[in-house]
Amino acid sequence: GAVVSQHPSWVICKSGTSVKIECRSLDFQATTMFWYRQFPKQSLMLMATSNEGSKATYEQGVEKDKFLINHASLTLSTLTVTSAHPEDSSFYICSAGRTGESNQPQHFGDGTRLSIL
Amino acid sequence: GDSVTQMEGPVTLSEEAFLTINCTYTATGYPSLFWYVQYPGEGLQLLLKATKADDKGSNKGFEATYRKETTSFHLEKGSVQVSDSAVYFCALGYNNNDMRFGAGTRLTVKP
């Protein structure tokens, strides 16, 4: 079946560091990928929609200069948390759907737990 | 806008008990409906889905029926196991676009 790989699964770093998270669709092409953020014991909140070959679309309230998204190929999207601070600590999850398939579920990565000291 | 409302947890059951987790939605169109499960420290796994009214999704003993008249998609299982302990998310989505999730319901099953 379709698989989405997310890397790394866990990051601990100092305040001020920039962190890059990768999301790969392993056996299908994904024109669009989605990045979500999940706070402890809460639901997933959509941060942005990553579009291959064009700029990402950010949800209201999400700082695009803080959370840089690059979708350079049909199988890879990256989220870079720039100059991370403790309040950026969270669980980040990406998802992707097969291009051209409607009414099919998104496939989710296993998530990245980001801890900023 | 579209939204999903789930029953609040946590839910604690004994093994072999009957499970119901309520989910209702509001939608401007005709979305597909999903239940996802999240085990501790992991991402989301699709549990089941339904793409149109009256469809029933089922998997691993879990079932949910897409009820347009009551805008509901309640999750049920006749006999839960300890291994079913997880957080369950109800969600809606259109044509591979972004999804809207409920708040999640934490289920704990005790032996």
Cα–Cα distance, A31 to A102 (Å, whole number): 13
Note whether B102 contacts A: Cβ–Cβ < 8 A: yes
Closest CA to B99 of B46, B60, B53, B54: B46
CA B10 to CA B38: how far, in whole Å?
A: 14
pLDDT, residue A103, reads 57
Q: A14-68: per-residue pLDDT in tens?
A: 999 999 999 999 988 888 899 999 988 788 899 999 888 888 999 999 999 999 9
Predicted confidence (pLDDT) at residue B1 exceeds the cutoff of 90:
no
B 13-72 residues with CB below 8 A of A? Answer: 32, 34, 36, 41-46, 49, 51
Number of Cβ pairs < 8 A linking chain A and chain B: 57
Which residues of chain A make contact with B101, given a CB cutoff of 8 A?
43-44
- Tens of pLDDT, residues A4-17: 999 999 999 999 99
* Ranges assigned E (strand) in chain A: 4-7, 10-13, 19-25, 32-38, 44-51, 57-58, 67-73, 76-81, 90-96, 107-108, 112-116
Closest approach of chain B CAs to the CA of A52, in angstroms?
Answer: 14
Nearest neighbour of A93 by CB, restricted to B44, B46, B94 = B44
Residue of chain B whose Cα is closest to the Cα of A110: B43
Instruction: Please work out, in degrees rounded to the nearest 5, the angle formed at the alpha carbon of residue A9 by the alpha carbons of A89 and A25.
Output: 115
Question: What tens digit of pLDDT does each residue of B52-111 get?
Answer: 999 999 999 999 999 999 999 999 999 999 999 999 999 998 876 778 899 999 999 999
User: Residue A105 and residue B46: Cβ atoms within 8 Å?
Assistant: yes
Q: Tell me the longest C-alpha to C-alpha distance in chain B.
A: 42
- Residue B30 has what pLDDT? 87
Q: What is the pLDDT of residues A75-113, one digit of tens each?
A: 999 999 999 999 999 999 999 877 666 556 678 898 999
Q: Give contacts of A105 with chain B, Cβ < 8 Å.
A: 32, 34, 46, 49, 93
Closest chain B residue by Cα to residue A43: B103
pLDDT for residue A43: 85
For residues A79 and A92, is the Cβ–Cβ distance under 8 A? yes
What is the rounded distance in angstroms from the CA atom of residue B87 to the CA atom of residue B44?
A: 9
| Cis preceding-peptide flag for B111 (omega within 30 of 0) | no
8 A C-beta contact, residue B99 and residue A106: yes
| Residue B96: predicted pLDDT | 62
Compare CB distances from A110 to B43, B46, B106 and report the shortest one's residue: B43
Distance CA(A39)–CA(B57), nearest Å, equals 28
Spell A28-59 as b/e; 16+ CB within 10 A means b: bebbbbbbbbbeeeebbebbbbbebeeebbbe
